[in-house]
Structure 1
Amino acid sequence: MTTFAQNTILPLWPNKIPNAIKGNDTEEIVSADIVRISKVQNPTIEVYLPAKKTATGQAVLIFPGGGYGILAYDWEGTDFAKLLNSKGIAGIVVKYRLPNSKWATDKHNVPLQDAQRAMRLVRSKAVDWNINPNHVGIIGFSAGGHLASTLGTHYNEEVYSKRDAIDQQSARPDFMTLAYPVITMGEINTHGGSRKNLLGENPSQKMINHFSNELQVTTDTPPTFLVHATDDTAVPVENSLLFYSALRKNKVAVEMHIYPTGGHGFALGLDDPHLASWTDQWIGWLSGLKP
């Protein structure tokens, strides 16, 4: 069995990255209070594995937010991978391409291409990483929550041509967590910046509906955990409520926690003891899931 360092980084694509255009853009990483990554050119997964003795076989792919303009890479990424490791769960941070890049075609499909490939890649490494391939889920934050909910509802959509044997794996998450997610692209409750970056200035109604994920839920959508704050002024709580209603209508198992305060982008919520309890509820939910 291959042994990996706790934070091995692997490229998502074996050679040519789909929809990529050669250019002189370079990835930018700004490390201040939060590590912010923009202009992603080479998407990767960063793999954090728990000790074998404590490993549950469960894995969670993590999609940081940032309005589809940047990735809040530690705040909504590696910090959660480390938390998951402490509970015996593999945490895998996805550094996905952003649709505001000028070096991609069909930009609205680029994040989903990377998300599907990341899920397939992790499943292909299940034996090496001591992971149950039927116990692999996702978590996404804000715009990363939109991408996660897109993967959870568009996992069968063919957004790139198969590259290798890895692409024979299923891209369907076994379970899904959405933290203060952007769900709808409709005018009333969407996050304007995320919508503009993903769909452009004047998207068609067909495109808006396609990426309004409350409209894409089916009975096959994965079991879902939702968390949001009522006073979120950036991404209204109605996003989670719309998705919750769609899941209930389709008889998909769902748990939702709505906190009175917390605003947007609270991540672990450590500034507020009550809000900080959400991760305990989440880990409890994860431990109750059966492969």
Structure 2
Amino acid sequence: MRKTISSLLIAGALCIGFTGAHAQSGFRFEAMAQPAQNDAIPLDTGPQARDVPPEHWFRMDGGANVRNVSHATLTPYLPANEEATGTAVIVAPGGGFLGLAMEVEGTRVAQWLAAQGVAAFVLKYRLVPTPADFKAFANGMAATRSGKPSSVRPPAETPEFAIQDGLAALALVRTHAKDWGVDPARVGMMGFSAGAFTTISASLAAKPGEKPAFIAPIYGRLTARDVPSDAPPMFAVLASDDHFFASQGFALIDGWIKAKRPVEFHLYQDGGHGFGLGRPGTTSDGWINQFMIWLRANHLAPTK
């Protein structure tokens, strides 16, 4: 199983931060060998336009993370044939576009969905470059977190290449829908933190007929965007104690309502930021069960 972390987060002006133990104890980085990625399917979106150091995997507080991704891939997690619902979700981990939390916000989510009969596809999208030297990267991240000058900073908005990777992932799943037991009319996208930015931006950038069937931005920024009349149904999640986004308002939700598009918004009392499938002991625990209820109620997945 591929292991990753929920640590690199995106906020406000896309500042980097860490939650839970990271915020209390600081960073604990260690290098690791690149894991096998035998099931990863390359996306035909091309490499970065600018030079990017080699892809690098590392552990932080025991979890694995990846940075300097220059070629996007999509990894399928398919349900057993007898459990398959025909619904599919592209899962975009977060990480401030500097890294990807492939376990907590990728693999674990995909495996949970597959167990519910939903075909899941973890998107490893392209990232902005970070220093090739591991120590320089770790020091830069620590400086950014403490508000000191640093070259390791996230972009101000969703990079165009990340949007293109999201659109390419949607197209690939639809192209191979029959092979994977997927209904091409029920291919959606879920993203966490920076992945939520990518999910929202890709859905709004998609041409008519190419938009995801639904989107689920999880603890992403919910500030105002222009919402078209054909915006996909949206299921959004945020915790009221999210120290990045809770204070920025929920104008995106209002935009979906004004556009008369289906929207469900769960503002949990607690959970902070980066809670993945839910932080035990907080009301965020179990939010993904509500997501499945929402899919079924909107006829986006069969009712059991």
Query: Shorter-chain TM-score: which interval?
Result: 0.7 to 0.9
| Partner-residue secondary structure (3-state), 1:129 | coil
- Partner of residue 44, structure 1: 73
1:134 equivalent to 2:134? Answer no
| Alignment-mate amino acid for residue 79 of structure 2 | P
Deviations 1:24-69 (A, max 9, x none): 7200111343321110022100100000101000000001011111
SS in 2 for 1:128: coil
Task: Give 1:288's aligned residue.
Answer: 297
Q: Which residue in 2 is equivalent to 1:229?
A: 239
1:274 CA drift (Å): 3.0
Q: Which of 214, 217, 232 is the matching residue for 1:175?
A: 214
Confirm or deny: 8 A CA contact 1:227 1:257 kept in the other structure: yes
Distance 1:247 1:87, change over 3 A: same
Which residue number in structure 1 is paired with residue 6 of structure 2?
none
In structure 2, stretches of 5+ residues that fail to align are: 1-37, 132-157
Does the C-alpha gap of structure 1 residues 49 and 81 become closer, same or farther in structure 2, counting only changes over 3 Å?
same
Q: Which residue number corresponds to residue 40 of structure 2? A: 9
Is 1:94 the counterpart of 2:130? The answer is no
1:220 aligns with 2:230: yes
Of the two structures, which has the highest relative contact order with CA contacts closer than 8 Å and spacing of 6 or more? 2
The superposition leaves residues 226-246 of structure 1 with CA deviations (integer Å, 9 ceiling, x where unpaired) of 11011111223535x111100
Three-state SS of the structure 2 residue aligned to 1:172 is coil
Please state how far the C-alpha of 1:219 moved relative to its aligned partner.
1.3
Which residues of 2 match residues 176-195 of structure 1 at below 5 A? 176-184=215-223
Q: Tell me the secondary structure at the aligned position of residue 276 of structure 1.
A: coil
Q: Distance in 1 between matches of 2:282 and 2:244?
A: 22
Q: Which letter maps to 2:265?
A: M
How far did residue 23 of structure 1 move? 4.1
Question: Whole-Å Cα distance in 2 between the matches of residues 65 and 271 of structure 1?
Answer: 20
* Residues 173-215 of structure 1, C-alpha deviations (whole Å, 9 max, x = no match): 000101111244xxxxxxxxxxxxxxxxxxxxxxxxxxxxx32
RMSD: 2.2
Give 1:31's aligned amino acid. R
1:265 partner amino acid: G
Structure 1 residues not aligned, in runs of 5+: 1-6, 158-169, 185-213
Q: 1:24 to 1:270 in 2, by over 3 A?
A: closer
Q: Is 1:260 equivalent to 2:269 in the alignment?
A: yes
Higher mean alpha-carbon deviation, 263-272 vs 46-55, is at 263-272
Q: Distance in 2 between matches of 1:229 and 1:270?
A: 11
Aligned-pair distance for 1:137? 0.3
CA deviation after TM superposition for structure 1 residue 95, in Å: 0.2
Comparing 44-53 with 29-38, greater Cα deviation is found at 29-38
2:108 paired residue number: 79
Question: Aligned partner of 1:81: which letter?
Answer: A
Measured after TM superposition, the shift of residue 108 of structure 1 is 2.6
Listed one character per residue, the Cα deviations across residues 208-267 of structure 1 (whole Å, up to 9, x for unaligned) are: xxxxxx32211111000011011111223535x111100000001111111111111111
SS at match of 1:275: coil
In structure 1, the partner of 2:63 is 34
Q: Take 2:159 and 2:56, find their aligned partners in 1: how far apart are those partners?
A: 21
In the TM superposition, residue 119 of structure 1 has moved relative to its aligned partner by: 0.5
SS in structure 1 at match of 2:95: coil
Structure 2 equivalent of residue 154 of structure 1: 205
SS at match of 1:35: strand
In 2: Cα distance, 1:126 partner to 1:108 partner: 27
Q: Which shows bigger deviation, 22-31 or 113-122?
A: 22-31
> Taking structure 1 as the reference length, what is the TM-score of the superposition?
0.76
Percent identical pairs in the alignment equals 34
